[in-house]
Structure 1
Amino acid sequence: MSPISSQIPDPPANFQKLDAQPVDAVRMAATLVSAAVVIAALYYGQDVLIPLACAFLISFALNRPVSWLSRRGVPRIVSVIVVMAMIVALLASLVGVLGSQLRSLSQELPTYQWTIRSKLSELRAQLKAPGIFEGALETVETVQKEIKAEERPSKAGEDAQPPPPQRVEIVPSPRDPFETAMAWLERSVEPLAKLGIVFVFVFLALLDRSDLRDRLLRMLGGNLHRSTDAIEEAGKRISKYLLMQLVVNVTYGVPMALGLYLIGVPGALLWGTVAAVMRFVPYVGPMLAAIFPISLAFAVDPGWNMVLWTIALIVTLEVISNNIVEPMLYGTSTGLSAMSLIASATFWTALWGPIGLILATPLTVCLLVIGRNIPQLQFLDTMLGSVPALDLPTRIYQRLLADDAEEAIDIATTEIDATSPREFYNDVAVATLRLASDDHLRHATAEHRLRVANGMDALLDDLREQYPSEIPEGAKPSVVCIGGKWEVDTIASEMLCHALALDGIAAVYRPATTISAAHIAKLDLEGADIVCVSYFTSTPALSARHFCRRLRRRWPKLRIVLALWNASPELLVSGAHETLGADVVVTSIEEATRRIHRLVDPHEAEEAQKAIVPDNDDERVTALRATGVLTGGSREDLDAAAMRAADVFHAGFAVITAIDKDQEFIVGQSKHLAGPLTKDGTDMIVIPRADAVCDHVVATGEPLVVEDTERDPRFAENPTIKLWNARFYAGAPLRSAEGMVLGAMCILGTEPRTLDDRELEILASLADDVAAIITGDEAVAGPSKVLAASSATLGQPVPD
Structure 2
Amino acid sequence: MTSYDTASRQVPRAPSSGGAGPLAVPLLPEPPQAGRADIVSIAAWLVVGTVIIGLLYYGQDVLIPLAIAFLISFALGPLVRVLVRRGMPQVAAVSVVMLTVIAALLGLGLLIASQVSVLSAELPAYQSTIRAKIASLGDQMEGPGVLDGVFQTIATVQEQMTTALQGAPSGAADPLEVQVVGDGPSPFSMAVAWLTPALAPLATLGIVVVFVFLVLLDRGDLRDRLIRLLGGNLHRSTDALEEAGKRISKYLLMQLIVNVTYGIPMALGLWAIGVPGWILWGTLAAIMRFIPYVGPMLSAIFPLALAFAVDPGWQMVLMALSLILFLELISNNIVEPLLYGTSTGLSALSLIAAATFWTALWGPLGLILSTPLTVCLLVMGRNLPQLAFFDTLLGSTPALDLPTRIYQRLIANDPDEAYDIVSDAIRETGLPVFYNETGLEVLRQASDDYHAQARVEHRLRVADGMDRLLDDLREDHPAPDMDATRPARVACIGGKWQVDAVSAEMLVHMLALDGVPAIHCPTGAVTARYVERLELDGIDTVCLAYFSRDPDIAVRGFVRRLRRRWPELRIMLALWNAPEDQAGPDRGTALGVDQVVLSLSEAAQHLVLAASPDMALAAEALPGDALPSDEPERLTVLARSAVLDGHAREDLDDLAKRAADVFDVGLAFVSVVDADAEYLVGQSMDLPGPRTDTSPPMTWLPRTGAMAGHVVTTGQTLVVPDSDRDARFAGHEMLQKWQGRFYVAAPLRTAGGHVLGALCLMDRAPRQIGDSELDLLDRIAAEATALITREDPVATEPRKPAPAAPRSVLGQRVPD
Q: TM exceeds 0.5?
A: yes
- Map of 2:15 onto structure 1: none
Unaligned runs of 5+ in 1: 1-18
- Map of 2:811 onto structure 1: 795
Instruction: Give the 5 Å matches for 1:102-117.
Output: 102-117=116-131
In structure 1, distance between residues paired with 2:170 and 2:494: 97
Amino acid in the other structure paired with 2:810: L
How far did 1:143 drift? Answer: 6.3
Amino acid in the other structure paired with 1:73: G
**SS of aligned partner of 2:621:** coil
Q: Is the 8 A contact 2:771 2:799 kept in 1?
A: no
Moved more, 442-451 or 140-149: 140-149
- Map of 2:728 onto structure 1: 714
Amino acid in the other structure paired with 1:787: P
Instruction: Give the 5 Å matches for 1:597-636.
Output: 597-611=608-622, 613-636=627-650
- Specify which of 719, 743, 750 is matched with residue 729 of structure 1: 743
Amino acid in the other structure paired with 2:46: L
Moved more, 374-383 or 513-522: 513-522
Q: Is the 8 A contact 2:545 2:574 kept in 1?
A: yes
**SS of aligned partner of 2:290:** coil
In structure 1, distance between residues paired with 2:116 and 2:613: 83
**Structure-2 change in CA distance of 1:641 and 1:146 (3 Å):** closer
Amino acid in the other structure paired with 2:634: R
- Map of 1:235 onto structure 2: 245
How far did 1:175 drift? Answer: 3.3
Instruction: Give the 5 Å matches for 1:338-737.
Output: 338-469=348-479, 470-471=481-482, 476-611=487-622, 613-681=627-695, 683-737=697-751
In structure 2, distance between residues paired with 1:552 and 1:597: 23
**SS of aligned partner of 1:441:** helix
Describe the superposition over 1:691-722 as per-residue Cα deviations: whole angstroms up to 9, x where unpaired.
Answer: 22223323332322211111110011211111
- Map of 1:65 onto structure 2: 79
**SS of aligned partner of 2:704:** helix
Describe the superposition over 1:152-199 as per-residue Cα deviations: whole angstroms up to 9, x where unpaired.
Answer: 9xx99x984769999969687543433221101221121111111111
Amino acid in the other structure paired with 2:711: V
**Structure-2 change in CA distance of 1:585 and 1:739 (3 Å):** same
Describe the superposition over 1:434-476 as per-residue Cα deviations: whole angstroms up to 9, x where unpaired.
Answer: 1111111211111111111110001011111112222356863
In structure 2, distance between residues paired with 1:723 and 1:96: 76
Moved more, 189-198 or 46-55: 189-198
**Structure-2 change in CA distance of 1:166 and 1:748 (3 Å):** farther
How far did 1:626 drift? Answer: 2.4
Aligned residues with identical type, % of pairs = 54
Instruction: Give the 5 Å matches for 1:729-768.
Output: 729-768=743-782
Q: Is the 8 A contact 2:345 2:815 kept in 1?
A: yes
Amino acid in the other structure paired with 2:280: L
Q: Is the 8 A contact 1:334 1:790 kept in 2?
A: no
Moved more, 598-607 or 87-96: 598-607
Instruction: Give the 5 Å matches for 1:13-28.
Output: 22=35, 24-28=38-42
**SS of aligned partner of 1:102:** helix
Q: Is the 8 A contact 1:263 1:309 kept in 2?
A: yes
Describe the superposition over 1:359-394 as per-residue Cα deviations: whole angstroms up to 9, x where unpaired.
Answer: 111111111111111111111111112222211111
Describe the superposition over 1:73-112 as per-residue Cα deviations: whole angstroms up to 9, x where unpaired.
Answer: 2221122222111211221122122211211111111111
In structure 1, distance between residues paired with 2:156 and 2:389: 65
How far did 1:299 drift? Answer: 1.3
**SS of aligned partner of 2:346:** coil
Q: Is the 8 A contact 1:703 1:731 kept in 2?
A: yes
Q: Is the 8 A contact 2:585 2:596 kept in 1?
A: no
- Map of 2:106 onto structure 1: 92
TM-score of the superposition, structure 1-length normalised?
0.92
- Map of 1:5 onto structure 2: none
Instruction: Give the 5 Å matches for 1:142-153.
Output: none
In structure 2, distance between residues paired with 1:519 and 1:238: 65
- Map of 1:12 onto structure 2: none
Q: Is the 8 A contact 2:779 2:796 kept in 1?
A: no
In structure 2, distance between residues paired with 1:79 and 1:487: 69
Moved more, 749-758 or 175-184: 175-184
**Alignment coverage as a number of residue pairs:** 777
Q: Is the 8 A contact 2:396 2:811 kept in 1?
A: no
Moved more, 213-222 or 433-442: 213-222
How far did 1:263 drift? Answer: 2.5
In structure 2, distance between residues paired with 1:783 and 1:204: 36
1:314 to 2:324 alignment:
yes
Amino acid in the other structure paired with 2:355: A
**SS of aligned partner of 1:293:** helix
- Map of 2:136 onto structure 1: 122
Q: Is the 8 A contact 1:333 1:791 kept in 2?
A: no
1:272 to 2:286 alignment:
no
Amino acid in the other structure paired with 1:795: G
Moved more, 206-215 or 671-680: 671-680
In structure 2, distance between residues paired with 1:263 and 1:754: 61
In structure 1, distance between residues paired with 2:180 and 2:733: 103
In structure 1, distance between residues paired with 2:158 and 2:211: 68
Q: Is the 8 A contact 1:477 1:507 kept in 2?
A: yes
Q: Is the 8 A contact 1:538 1:568 kept in 2?
A: no
- Map of 2:88 onto structure 1: 74
Amino acid in the other structure paired with 1:492: S
Q: Is the 8 A contact 1:640 1:670 kept in 2?
A: yes
Unaligned runs of 5+ in 2: 1-31
Q: Is the 8 A contact 1:760 1:786 kept in 2?
A: no
**SS of aligned partner of 1:311:** helix
- Map of 1:326 onto structure 2: 336
Q: Is the 8 A contact 1:739 1:782 kept in 2?
A: no
**Structure-2 change in CA distance of 1:413 and 1:159 (3 Å):** closer
1:780 to 2:791 alignment:
no
1:262 to 2:276 alignment:
no
